[in-house]
Amino acid sequence: MKRSEIKDVHENSVLESFVSHSAGLGKITEIIDKPEPPDALVTINGNKTWVEITDAFLSCDLAKSITTYVADDQTHKPVPREKRKCIDPDKNFSDIFESVILKKFNKRSIGKVYRQYGGGILLVGIINPFSDARELVNTEKKKILDAIKLKEPRFDEIYLYGVHDHVFYQLL
């Protein structure tokens, strides 16, 4: 499967899980379009909004290794041996996590989507063996709120989810 096909399958899986999560909260969520960007236009209880999906990996090298391993049209790039050590994983991931969210807030195409539709929903997959989505909501919320307080309110809601179980926890 090509990288672009894997991305589509991943996004569809996350969106389906988010629809199920919303249903568990008594919300009726329907996917109405996938314009790219955003990853999806949806209605929640009849109100139109949009969804953007991103992933926060423990490291850039791990992200490259995982994404190139599964794609037929990419050469696998394993994590180099000298980078297989992790000193202070909480601090390292905290910085990566913040940068992933800020990247979405700063992205020009997301600004256009925000101006067209208003605030949307950001879903952030957590790919880190040292912590989980529920824990990060508690430990990283203040740092993220401080980082985005002067930004356009492009996202009305931010959810973190584990990429293995797709259980969602609301950060914002």
Of residues 129 and 87, more confidence is placed in 129
Q: What's the confidence (pLDDT) of residue 63?
A: 65
Q: What are the tens digits of pLDDT across the range 106-128? A: 999 999 999 999 999 999 999 99
* pTM summary value: 0.91
9-30: average pLDDT: 96
pLDDT value of position 48 = 97
pLDDT at 157 over 90: yes
The residue count of the chain comes to: 172
Number of domains in the chain: 1
Q: Which long-range contacts (CB under 8 A, 24 or more apart) does 2-10 make?
A: 2/71, 2/72, 2/73, 3/67, 3/71, 3/73, 3/74, 6/67, 6/70, 6/71, 10/53
Q: Do 13 and 55 contact (CB within 8 A), yes or no?
A: no
Structural domain containing residue 163: 3-170
Q: Please, are residues 126 and 56 in contact by the beta-carbon 8 Å criterion?
A: yes
Residue 9 reports pLDDT greater than 80? yes
Per residue in 61-83, pLDDT tens? 766 777 778 878 888 877 778 87
95/101 Cα distance (integer angstroms): 10
What does pLDDT average to over the chain? 92
